[in-house]
Structure 1
Amino acid sequence: MATTKWTIDPTHSEIGFKVKHMMFTNVSGKFQEFEASAETEDGFFTNTNFEFTAKSNSISTGNADRDKHLVSGDFFDVENHPTISFKSKSYTKISEGAYKLIGDLTLRGVTNSVTLDVEFHGTAKDPWGNEKAGFGINGKINRKDWGLNWNSALEAGGVLVGEEIKLNIELQFVKQ
C-alpha cells in the first residue's frame, strides 16, 4: 500500500499538560519547540504511525522561576536529556472519530508505554490548498514512572507537586 507523510503545523498545534499544585489547583504548561510527523496508508487515518520530539528546555508554564526548576536535574535534567520523544506502536479505532494511541514515551532517558485517547477532527484544505488533518489527544501519566520524583512536603500535609500529569494535546498536520 502507498503511504502518505504528514508533518506538524507548529503554529496550529499545542503540546500541553496540567499538574496539581499544593493538592488543590492545577498548573498548566506547554512545550514551545517540537516536531511531529505521521505516516498513513493511502492518506486515511485508520492505520497511522506517529512520532514526536520536543526540546525539554522549551517548557513554559508562565513562570520563569518554575520553568528554570523544571529544566534542572530535579525534573527534566535537560543537560543530560535535551529531548522528550514519543513513537507510536498502535493506533486503534474505538468508534467514529475516536481512537486509542499506544506508544513509547521517553522522558529523562526512561521509556515507558503510554495509552492516549485520540479524537480525530477530520481533514480539510486551507485557503492555500494545503490538506490538513486535526487531532485532539488526551491522557494521563505518573511522572514518577520517568524518574521525575522531586517534591516538597506541605506543612499541613500532602505535597507541593502532584504525581499525575494530564496531557492535553492539539495537533494539526499538513499533507506532504
Structure 2
Amino acid sequence: MAPKQRKIALMGFRSVGKSSITIQLVEGQFVDSYDPTIENTFYTTIKVKGQDYSLKLVDTAGQDEYSIFPHSYAMDIHGYCLVYSINNAKSFEVVRIIYDKLLDMTGKIHVPIILVGNKVDLHLERCVSYQEGKDLANYMKAQFVEVSAKENMAVNSMFQTLILNIEKQSLAESPENTQEKHNKCIVS
C-alpha cells in the first residue's frame, strides 16, 4: 500500500519548540541551540494503524498577535499543530489568536488541529495549567496533548493523533458521505 501524503503546519509563538518537536520526530534528537526559524520544511514517514504516511512538516516562523497569517498556511494543509509553551502565558494567548486567524483564512468550521503544550520537562516553571490547555482545546474542537521535545515525551503519539484526526475529517468530507447527506434532503 502506497504511503498517504499529508502536509502538517506547526504554528505558535516564537521559542515554544516547534522546530525542536519537528527535529525530534524526523531525526530523533533534541537540538539545544536555537536559531529563530524563518520557515523550514521537513519530510518523514510515520506508520499509523498499519498505514504509512509520508509527512511534509512545515515548521513556521514564530507568530505573535500582530502577525499577518500567510495565505500559504491555509492552502493544501491537512492538519495543524498549534504549539505553546507551558511556561509562557503569552505563547498560550497567541495560540488562540492564531486559531481565530486560521478559521478566518480557511473558512472551515472544523480544521484538524492538535493543541500542543510543549516543555513539560519545565514543570516547575509551569504557568499554563493542564486544565487551561484542555479548555482551550475544547473551545477549538481540537485534540490536546502535552509533550516534551527535549525528553521525546509523546512527540510521536502527538503526530499519530493528528493523523487519525485528519483521516476522520477527510472521511467525513468524502464524496460518498457528502452524497448521502444530499440524498437525505427533502424539498417540499
* TM-score for both structures, normalised by structure 1: 0.31
Q: Which has the higher helix share?
A: 2
* TM-score for both structures, normalised by structure 2: 0.30
Q: Which has the higher strand share?
A: 1
